[in-house]
Structure 1
């Protein structure tokens, strides 16, 4: 499928190979007499390469695609405890299970997804794969997209939510689902509202949607805006061990932290412009920034302005920032802009690229990092 202008713009970024890092004990420090702790963290984050290190190395030529498969953006990653993971990517078939050796053992979902976006596993082991719909006006996708699909791990299609081809914020439709996560009570929370979006899509209404594992609507939370508990392009979701939800509120250039009732607790702006988030059980907090400094379309009420903005989140660099769920910063991965982000409890970190895949030493759009 031909990419629209927006996707071409995004894909045109040149990626260097990732040099991933994660955490010896201690937190990077920055001098800043007279600055608040928040201001110090922002200052630190804006010049990360001089203050944060990297004890990880990339596995080259991992994974290996099936015969006839082609790489597409690796947007959704769900690791297991064996060193492998489930991957949702923008190619066919979109859903793949990859073992620790990089071999694809399962593959399904052909022809069901326009723009893969959002991937999670519920407490029964079923997979939820989002389809945000096209990023711009694309007549070839008419009547498709703006849904989320549920599959068994054997590839059985169990249900689809949303109305194909219709972008609306309602109980039975989505603006454009971008992420999902399992809540502490077993329900599923979905981030709804991708930027950019087609002209015939709803241009406001960004929110979080709660559904049951059976797909029944429970409630919607938030509205489009820049205030506490408001969202502008929510792009990734992750829970910590205390039941707090971290939302990549991308077009607001912040991570929002919500409690178990999805009420606002805090927001952090020192992890860059977040596209991907993952949280480990030990409190390690990993955020991918794929857009800082880029000239990209966005909502008219974005901090930098609408579609004609010169740069998003000026002063920050793309890359991966690693810290703790207490808000501290420790490490930085320069020269890469993944959106898909995951880490397992074996110490492996996975990065899903949305462009520049041919330049990656991994051989494609998925990168696996292990401790040196």
Structure 2
């Protein structure tokens, strides 16, 4: 035991010496030692931890889990998966208990969104299948009954009247009922469409390209609390930002995506952080949201490194608890990450 405390004291003395030496001598430390010290001194803050008990039984995941949506109002989690002869949509509580499954009129789900109000529980799914319900965006009630179909079922295309989709990737529905759809995941279209609650086209942005307001695989979309639409422009390795009322291009982030583009974007309940998934890197980025009137540059606050080949495809965030739910097509599961106590207090304050 005495030897242990001698080692601790020695390590503390050496660390204090390094701190003092770095202040006095600056870059005179050997390059490798100087770099290692700097790196360890500025370690990232840990904001989330894995909830290993969610869900209570992972055996319910029987296919490739492509997307997940949180109904924060009713504390429900919807998971859509692909595969033959399996339920396409699973419904859990936010605590991880399985409630039910349904398989009606869903061919090949890609994105999912829960848009519940005090008067209505609804679930929207983008379907990229080649069957009779493919290339559409569909609205269901919470028990899987089909309520509305957007697009031309079974026919991909570029048309606007009637509206057609080709591999619609994801959507976001505001409390007002306005709908933002990113269309397409490698198909004919590379565009962002805003629809009113009665499904009229309010504005449209995009075509295939690298210039501002053009896309290469727009894969995920979300809206912040100050009226900006954020699109994961995956093929172009950037996030593009638009004004939600006019569709005006406001700017882009590309400095965080030198290795791989973003596949999913969602904000934390306080609007201060943007959670971003990178599919092939199996990584989540927690970035600082810019202030009003300034898109600025991407600033990573923290990261969550998943295991190799987990492949986080799309994600959602509970607007009550701040928990992140990640649909992982490689691992064929959904995992839940909860804020650590000190970070959670910022949501509840």
With the length of structure 2 as denominator, give the TM-score of the two structures.
Answer: 0.71
- The residue aligned with 1:24 is none
Q: Distance in 1 between matches of 2:269 and 2:44?
A: 22
Instruction: Please report the RMSD computed on the Cα atoms of aligned residues, expressed in angstroms.
Output: 2.7
Q: Helix, strand or coil for the counterpart of 2:263? A: strand
CA pair 67-54 structure 1, distance change in 2 beyond 3 A: closer
* Structure 1 residue 176 displacement after superposition: 1.5
* Structure 1 residue 111 displacement after superposition: 4.6
Matching of residue 342 in structure 1 with residue 308 in structure 2: no
List alignment gaps of at least 5 residues for structure 2. Answer: 1-38, 291-297, 341-349
Aligned counterpart for 1:180 among listed residues 150, 171, 179: 171
Q: Distance in 1 between matches of 2:338 and 2:116?
A: 26
- The residue aligned with 1:85 is 77
Q: Distance in 1 between matches of 2:57 and 2:157?
A: 36
- The residue aligned with 2:228 is 244
Higher helix proportion, which one? 2
Matching of residue 366 in structure 1 with residue 330 in structure 2: no
- The residue aligned with 1:353 is 328
Aligned counterpart for 2:150 among listed residues 125, 139, 161: 161
Matching of residue 269 in structure 1 with residue 233 in structure 2: no
List alignment gaps of at least 5 residues for structure 1. Answer: 1-46, 134-140, 292-316, 358-364
Higher strand proportion, which one? 2
Between structure 1 and structure 2, the one with the greater Rg is: 2
Matching of residue 328 in structure 1 with residue 324 in structure 2: no
Is contact 1:83–1:348 with CA below 8 Å preserved after alignment?
no
Bigger shift: 90-99 or 155-164?
90-99
Q: Distance in 1 between matches of 2:47 and 2:251?
A: 30
Matching of residue 62 in structure 1 with residue 30 in structure 2: no
Q: Distance in 2 between matches of 1:166 and 1:52?
A: 48
* Structure 1 residue 183 displacement after superposition: 4.1
CA pair 209-88 structure 1, distance change in 2 beyond 3 A: same
The 5 A counterparts of 1:91-240 are: 91=83, 92-121=86-115, 124-133=120-129, 141-171=130-160, 172-183=163-174, 185-195=176-186, 197=187, 202=188, 205-240=189-224
Is contact 2:191–2:218 with CA below 8 Å preserved after alignment?
yes
Q: Helix, strand or coil for the counterpart of 2:235? A: helix
Is contact 1:210–1:217 with CA below 8 Å preserved after alignment?
yes
- The residue aligned with 1:73 is 65
